[in-house]
Amino acid sequence: MTQDELKQQVAAAALTQVPRGEIIGVGTGSTVNFFIDALAGIKDQIRGAVSSSERSTERLRSHGISVFDLNEVGQLSVYVDGADEIDASGAMIKGGGGALTREKIIAEAAERFICIVDQSKLVPVLGKFPLPVEVVPMARELVARRLRALGGDPRERTGYITDNGNLILDVHGLHITQPRDFESRVNQIPGVVTVGLFALRGADVALVGTPTGVERRDFL
């Protein structure tokens, strides 16, 4: 099976996690795009979605799925999103697609985070995938120095502005053995809007696409 077929398979399996009659949190990325396309098949059974990016909003609306402002909705039962890496505790690196800030906000507003990934995203230790950090532009160099002091090699994502008008530093060379602690440290640097480490609020469930079918992992 190709990676896209694994993503498609896991996206379809995630429909079983969608509570009927409710508004669903929807993430961003190529795996989520397959999920949105699958969600279109049950659109009459949900009230709509809260979306983590302009791209996902556009795709949801193109299928006739209503998109709501999180402020109008309050708490969500379920948020479905992908990840760039996920470890055995459900901690993730996210933000490869640049939507990390809105993703973290919606994850926090949701009772359950359902992570949909193909098996290539499972890792023993987070950090091989460069860690995205969204930064207020005037703080770029300050934040980069602090990230170097934490052992990383931050590189600005060239030509990229987030939906919130900020920059992204992709931090290479990390080996994140204490993800919750590392997330807290990066959060404390002035000028950091969001770090793409989702450990303090990690996944509750991972659905993992493998050539032999979708595997489910539950995290405490």
Contact positions toward ligand 5RP, by CB under 6 A? 27-31, 81-84, 94-100, 103
Q: How far is the CB of 98 from ligand 5RP (least distance, A)?
A: 6
Q: How far is the CB of 93 from ligand 5RP (least distance, A)?
A: 8
Quick one: 82 or 127, whose CB is closer to ligand 5RP?
A: 82
Burial 123-135 (b: 16+ CB within 10 A, else e): beebbbbbbbbbb
Distance of alpha carbon 125 from alpha carbon 147, whole angstroms = 19
Angle between helix 3-13 and helix 30-39 axes, rounded to 10 deg: 40
- Biggest distance spanned by C-alpha atoms of the chain: 51
Q: Which DSSP string corresponds to 127-157?
A: TSSPEEEEE-GGGHHHHHHHHHHTT-EEEE-
Tell me if residue 103 is catalytic: yes
Quick one: 96 or 154, whose CB is closer to ligand 5RP?
A: 96
Here the tokens at position 168 are: 């992204």
Quick one: 86 or 147, whose CB is closer to ligand 5RP?
A: 86
Distance of alpha carbon 122 from alpha carbon 162, whole angstroms = 26
CB of 24 within 8 A of CB of 80? yes
Q: How far is the CB of 167 from ligand 5RP (least distance, A)?
A: 15
Quick one: 105 or 142, whose CB is closer to ligand 5RP?
A: 105
CB of 157 within 8 A of CB of 170? yes
Which residue among the candidates 22, 85, 103, 111 is catalytic per the annotation?
Answer: 103
Q: How far is the CB of 21 from ligand 5RP (least distance, A)?
A: 26
Q: Which residues are annotated as catalytic?
A: 103
